[in-house]
Chain A
């Protein structure tokens, strides 16, 4: 039996959290060392995973399945495919970066323990192929995030943490009911009582109305997590009040639990219901894109601005998910990563501004480009990525989503695409107010980027540029799983993908090049 790499990806950070929690508070360097080592090992493993992932295969790889609670049909079933691969890698890499790069300022020991537990939870969520297991991890994630916001956040942190917790718990409650009902109702089709995702998805044949009820039970939980309009208002509060590391992780990987959930559980388990309800999701996603962007424009607090921009960006991802074409869905998965990278970097940058000026209010900042040109340059590149300028990562995902959605959600796409105008508006306007102009007295000694900060941002910028110019390695790994998911939906609903009927058309044009 080969090394259970996926299990290790969950247990190493979990174990690290435990060790950190048990260490003495009086040995801070040991605490830090443990956390750094643990997350570095996890990062190493996720890179190894990326390297040994078989490109071009649609199915789950590195699976590991063990009976857990036999009587209830719960198993420790883990697997990874093109949809989850890069999310796992991002989770593996993002945590060491924030653990090394961001200083929590106080109570480092519990902070690091929570961070590592959070990583374990997120990893578990992305790797679980068992409904019950998924639910456990999905819920675990809330706990460390709650304490991170509540313990290391800003002025209004307790309110924000509570709101975040209750809001997501509310969604999860529906999902828990949904999960149990799904397992119960699938029993006859599958042949035995099980929570196994693959078995249920491949064998269960829900009546249309049943499937729709179950789908919506899951969908509410995911919609809150994404967050989808109008269930998004926990996000600006949580983001604004969370410590920088919390915001980076929240935007970077945690929101993707929602969009990932739609793909992995929503569409896969209930293809008919997902196909049936897609106009609703197109509409909510499109509203989110425009509405989030407009709300972002008027924010006074930089972090709130970025938070609302997330609402808009995630709207694109949901649109692409339900568009059910290979371009749109591949774009959605790609965009989950891209948004994680560029919004993560934006939160880092805003965090650095806060460290220097102890404010996030746009009106308090002015003329920073003059005093800190390198800082401004880094901000500019990340901003352009978020705006979706071609050649940078954000564009590739957005473009694929839109061109793919244009086939199946035409008029929504026409409206959604105007979001790219608004994205330029809110970011450039904020940039102008913060970085342009003559710096006033309080901003005139704004410190330039430090080497450690620069090094961290360089990693993000490298990812932004590389993905923008050469996304093919990612696409090659994502696409097969997406195609197989589309086929799965086609087989189980009356949906027919427009996909490759244009292959012959393309053939005709290819001939031109001879």
Chain B
């Protein structure tokens, strides 16, 4: 089966091409089923590859497949090649698995959209790009996927492009990501310059054996991290992700929560040995930025009123957790959290989509409430997602978050505190959301008049095709923790599985105080989650205290506003200045010289009517005479 890994990206690509050619004819819902089938069959192949790998010894679980030579110039040899190993297959499993579920969901969600088949065209292209990203054998194939998912994200955020805000958000996502891409390009150039190759095995092998100097390794790692900050929405480049919620909700779930935004975490894990070979302060920077982002975004999430914006900031915050893990040397924990987060955050987003669908495109939580009876399955699954993200045992998020905090404690106690505060806030704002949407009073009754037409507006549960993915994801959000249970070494399945990839760079915390007292830390995490939930319940359900939702938090600490203010103000003025400079100074010098040479202001007019025409004619005739002479001399 390992010889057929090319099928994994090829199947969504085939789906893309088929929809490109026949999408309009297929129409709704066939185009959707075709796309889902393409993604689903990729999942089946991935699962078979995975089973095949399991049957092999750990050392034999890596497979390279060179498809063709892509860019070979001089000493630069870049192959269009795939790499299947425990890391890439883990990624591919949840990308295709969750991807298929979201494809199915979207068939229901996008019902009636005039661009129905186009949506699935992009979705399959996205799946292909994402798979190339994780299965690339070298940085450039990954970069192909990296930019590919960026382009798809652009298409899908601005999918409803007649809406100005959607168009702007798409552009903003692409341009901001490009800032990060600059970093990835620099990392590639540095790696090629130092090692002479862009293949992961070559670079990591050199890093593990001292083939890359500490300075260079640090530079490569930090440049990659700049890229990761773009794609995975970390400070200071996170600003595009909240706006990306302009896209249809399945897109938010798939691209802007479960898969694409975790690319940065994946890349840092893939290149772990390089980070390991860096100066010690390099991982510290990453951990610090991760922790700062986690806390920063969590504080913003507590004051959001848009159901999707809460989840968007929550995603930024959770991604911060993953980078906190990376910076603490907890690669397995980072991937673990990435996977469980993909389960529960996709679930939450799809759940919110179901709510939005049932509420006829209402996204303001202040106009929701008491929906649990009208949308029982959505509510039930959403509550499971809430328990998972809030860190309530035994749901998936509890174990993965705790694993990260364990490593962070061993590594840097100040950051541990930040992590714990974030965990508390997470439990708090998610509880707030659940209460505002599903419990309390039904506020949509007052709002129905603004909805116009139908006075008998009643939110409704979503169709089965949308509920099925919710149920599956809810199940995974409950059981996801089984991947890596903290209780005994034998239960560290993910750690054993990823061992061949991360063994060199993974931090060893055995013997630290944290490791010896990990049950104490578990307990602390439970207490913190409980406090967060309790406060939220007291505030939002019982009304015992006034909600603290200051404008500064609702407005994201004014960070985004400051940046767009700068871009629209001084930034734009500076750009205009350059354009003016070009028109007046650079071009002015030319025109001025021309005028000066002629001595009179109307020289250009004279010149054009007289001299140039004559000269042009002379050249033209001269050329013809020369050619004629040449031909007459009979030298042909």
Contacts and interface: CB of A to CB of B under 8 A. Distances in A.
A369 interface: yes
A295 B584 CA distance: 13
A509 B579 contact: no
B590 A233 contact: yes
B463 to A, nearest CB: 28
Nearest to B587: A233
A139 B622 CA distance: 11
Interface stretch (B87-95, B181-189, B325-333, B486-494): B181-189
A511 to B, nearest CB: 9
Contacts of B182: 417-418, 420-421
B73 A162 contact: no
Interface stretch (A52-60, A189-197, A499-507): A499-507
Given A143-B619, A414-B186, A7 B74 contact: no
B211 to A, nearest CB: 8
Interface stretch (B63-71, B289-297, B402-410, B546-554): B63-71
Contacts of A326: 73-74
B619 A167 contact: no
Contacts of A475: 71-73
Interface string B182-207: 10011011101101110101110110
A505 B196 contact: yes
B205 A512 contact: yes
Contacts, number: 221
Interface in A160-177: 161-163, 165-167, 169
Contact of B75 (A167, A299, A396, A500): A500
A406 B151 CA distance: 26
A interface, over-half SS = helix
B607 A509 contact: no
Interface residues of A, number: 91
Main secondary structure, interface of B, reads: helix
Contacts of B619: 139-140, 142-143
Interface stretch (A264-272, A349-357, A431-439): A431-439
A230 B582 CA distance: 9
B345 to A, nearest CB: 27
A298 B594 contact: no
B366 interface: no
Contact of A421 (B178, B197, B199, B211): B178
Interface in A17-41: none
Contacts of B61: none
Given A428-B174, A505-B195, A509-B199, A370 B162 contact: yes
Contact of B604 (A7, A159, A404): A159
B54 interface: no
B623 interface: yes
Given A143-B620, A513-B64, A503 B171 contact: no
A327 B171 contact: no
B503 interface: no
Contacts of B174: 424, 428
Interface stretch (B100-108, B142-150, B387-395, B477-485): B142-150
A396 to B, nearest CB: 6
Given A403-B189, A414-B186, A420-B185, A509 B575 contact: no
Contacts of B73: 326-327, 330-331, 400, 404, 475, 479
B69 A472 contact: yes
A383 to B, nearest CB: 10
A294 to B, nearest CB: 5
Contacts of B151: 384, 389
A320 to B, nearest CB: 11
Contacts of B181: 420-421
Interface in B189-234: 189-190, 192-193, 195-197, 199, 201-203, 205-206, 211
A338 B405 CA distance: 50
A503 B623 CA distance: 50
Contacts of A435: 161
B228 to A, nearest CB: 16
A136 interface: yes
Interface in A350-390: 367, 369-370, 384, 389-390
A152 interface: no
A508 interface: yes
Interface in A103-118: 117
A479 B73 CA distance: 7
Between B75, B195, B589, the greatest number of chain A beta carbons within 10 A of the residue's beta carbon is seen for: B75
8 contacts: A121-B623, A233-B586, A294-B575, A326-B74, A327-B74, A330-B74, A437-B167, A505-B197
Given A162-B608, A331-B73, A403-B189, 18 more contacts: A136-B626, A161-B608, A166-B607, A233-B586, A291-B582, A295-B579, A330-B73, A389-B151, A390-B147, A403-B192, A417-B185, A428-B154, A435-B161, A436-B167, A438-B162, A505-B197, A509-B201, A512-B205
